[in-house]
Structure 1
Amino acid sequence: MRALLVDRSAPAGLRLGEAPEPVPAPHQALVRVAATSLNHGEVRHVLENASDGQILGWDAAGVVERAAADGSGPAVGTPVVTLAPDGAWAELRAVDTDLIGTAPEGADLGALSTVPVAGATALRALHRVGPLLGRRVLITGATGGTGRYAVQLARQGGAHVIASTAGPAAYGDGLRALGAHEVVPEPKALDAPVDGVLDLVGGTQLVDAYAKLAEGGTLVAVGHSAEQGEHFPFGALFGDQGRHDRSLVTFFLLGCRGLAPDLSRLAARVAAGDLDPQIAWRGGWDRAAEATEALLGRRLHGKAVLTFA
């Protein structure tokens, strides 16, 4: 089968080559991949530390080629979205059936390939914040793929959505179009406390966002793109004067259970046009180097999608 293989001698460390087909375990389906979406974390960190010949990739959408031997999961011919720690950057992928969501017939599989990491992370992190109706929710790093899904889902859940981005005014206009009620350059610019935070940046922004939490509020540490440590000044964790019972929680998508139904629901909403995947770049697998370089260079604000011809 064709696959994007890690190759340190190739541009961006990837080359399109041949690899053995995966052999699925009894609880796995074999999926023929139509498209994959790239995530900053896998391109910035996983690829950087991978060995030559490895097949990486978290997100993929395609069609079931062979159903799981144990009878779980979707039938042959079902369009699906899939999530796993690796294996998405290939024509065929073996995936645990509890990490497979079904998709509507005829849906744009390129658009649906953005769902697993970005969409499901946004959804589950918002669940961790708690009920959204009528609450103020801050999303830092909102111009990325996960942030854009989070803005839409939080707005649809009834939250007052505040998006944080240090980018130009045009980024703010785009986030308002997705549902943000307010756009601020950084958490420090907030004029009132918030009930929840999805922090996709880390570092000083996480510390500043935590300081804006209202009593009973929750900050979910989702992303760490700043690649900085978090240093809380003395007094930041006091619980007096309206700061009682604030929480800071960590998050790992593959630590969440029951993801398959979420993937199916999100895929259906993208296919119906209720959620915009915000694709900023789309091209063939032979242009992988171009896509990864644009992603690492922070020239993409949204999702990059690679499609197999």
Structure 2
Amino acid sequence: MRALLVDRSAPGGLRLGAAPDPEPAPHQALVRVTATSLNYGEVAFGLDAAPDGAVLGWDAAGIVERAAADGSGPAEGTPVVTLMPDGGWAELRAVDTGLIGAAPVGADLAALATIPVAALSALRALHRVGPLLGRSVLVTGATGGVGRYAVQLARAAGAHVVASTGSPDRNGDVLRGLGAHEVVASPKEVAGPVDGVVDVVGGPQLVEAYEALGPGGTLVATGHSSGRGEDFAFGTLFGDANRHDRSVVSFYLLGCTGLGRDLGWLAHRVAAGELDPGITWRGDWDDAAEAVDALLGRRLHGKAVLTIGG
């Protein structure tokens, strides 16, 4: 099969080449990939860590070519969205059936390819915050893939949504269109305490966002795009006054259960137009180097999608 292979001598660290077809385990389906979306973490860190010749890629959407031998998962011919720790940047992918979501027939699979890491992370982070109806949620890094989905999902769940972005003048209208009630330049500008935070940035901004939490509030550390550590000043973690019972939590997406169900639910919401996938770059896999460069240069706000096998 053809695949995008790690090659540090090539532009963007990737080149088109040949790789062995995957051999699915009994609990895996073989999926012919139509599209994949790139994530900042896999191009910023994954490419450096992987050996030359490796096939990376977390997100992929396509059609089931061979159903799982154990009878689990969708049937041959089903359009699906998939998540695995690698293998998405290739024509064929072997996928655990618990990490497959069935999609509506005729859906734009390129749009659905944005779902696995970004939308699932947003959904599970909001689940961790707790019931959202009538509560307030701050989303940092709101113009990125996870942030955009978090804004939309929090608004749909009945929360008052505050979106934080480094450029409110440029991005404010977009974020309000996605469902944000307020747009701020940093967590320091949040007017009152919030019940929950989905933090995609980490570093000093996570510390600022934690300070915006009210009693009983939860901050979910979902991303770490700042590449910096968190330095809490003495007293920040005191529990007196309005700081009672605040918490910082994290999670590992592949450590969660029920992801296939969530992938399918999200696929239907995107296909129905209820969630905007936020695609801001779209091209063929021949253009992968351009997408990688734009992601590393922080010139993309939203998702980059590659069509595979064309």
Do they superpose with TM above 0.5? yes
Matched residue of 2:243: which SS? coil
Greater mean deviation of Cα atoms: 244-253 or 88-97: 244-253
1:63 — aligned with what?
63
1:281 — aligned with what?
281
Would you say 1:136 and 2:142 are equivalent positions? no
Runs of at least 5 residues in structure 2 that lack an aligned partner in the other structure: none
* Distance in structure 1 (CA, Å) of the matches to 2:245 and 2:35: 43
**Structure 2 counterparts to residues 12-23 of structure 1, below 5 A:** 12-23=12-23
Would you say 1:49 and 2:38 are equivalent positions? no
Matched residue of 1:242: which SS? helix
Matched residue of 1:16: which SS? strand
**Structure 2 counterparts to residues 101-250 of structure 1, below 5 A:** 101-250=101-250
For normalisation by structure 1, the TM-score amounts to 0.99
* Distance in structure 2 (CA, Å) of the matches to 1:289 and 1:90: 15
Residue by residue over 1:70-99, the C-alpha shift from the partner in whole angstroms, topping out at 9 and shown as x without a partner, is 100000000000000000000000000000
* Distance in structure 2 (CA, Å) of the matches to 1:28 and 1:223: 29
2:258 — aligned with what?
258
* Distance in structure 2 (CA, Å) of the matches to 1:93 and 1:212: 43
Q: Which amino acid in the other structure matches residue 134 of structure 1?
A: G
Residue by residue over 1:248-292, the C-alpha shift from the partner in whole angstroms, topping out at 9 and shown as x without a partner, is 001211111110010000000100000000100000000000001
Q: What percent of counterpart residues are identical?
A: 74
Matched residue of 1:55: which SS? coil
1:301 — aligned with what?
301
Matched residue of 1:267: which SS? helix
CA contact (8 A) 2:136 2:195 kept: yes
RMSD of equivalent CA atoms: 0.6
Q: Which amino acid in the other structure matches residue 133 of structure 1?
A: L
* Distance in structure 2 (CA, Å) of the matches to 1:106 and 1:123: 24
* Distance in structure 2 (CA, Å) of the matches to 1:265 and 1:52: 36
* Distance in structure 2 (CA, Å) of the matches to 1:105 and 1:196: 36
* Distance in structure 2 (CA, Å) of the matches to 1:94 and 1:42: 19
* Distance in structure 1 (CA, Å) of the matches to 2:10 and 2:226: 27
**CA-CA distance at 1:121 after TM superposition:** 0.6
Runs of at least 5 residues in structure 1 that lack an aligned partner in the other structure: none
**CA-CA distance at 1:242 after TM superposition:** 1.7
Q: Which amino acid in the other structure matches residue 132 of structure 1?
A: L
Matched residue of 2:269: which SS? helix
For normalisation by structure 2, the TM-score amounts to 0.99
* Distance in structure 1 (CA, Å) of the matches to 2:131 and 2:21: 44
CA contact (8 A) 2:168 2:183 kept: no
* Distance in structure 2 (CA, Å) of the matches to 1:191 and 1:276: 28
* Distance in structure 1 (CA, Å) of the matches to 2:53 and 2:190: 47
**CA-CA distance at 1:168 after TM superposition:** 4.9
**CA-CA distance at 1:53 after TM superposition:** 0.3
Residue by residue over 1:100-130, the C-alpha shift from the partner in whole angstroms, topping out at 9 and shown as x without a partner, is 0000000000000001111111001000000
2:32 — aligned with what?
32
Aligned residue pairs total 309
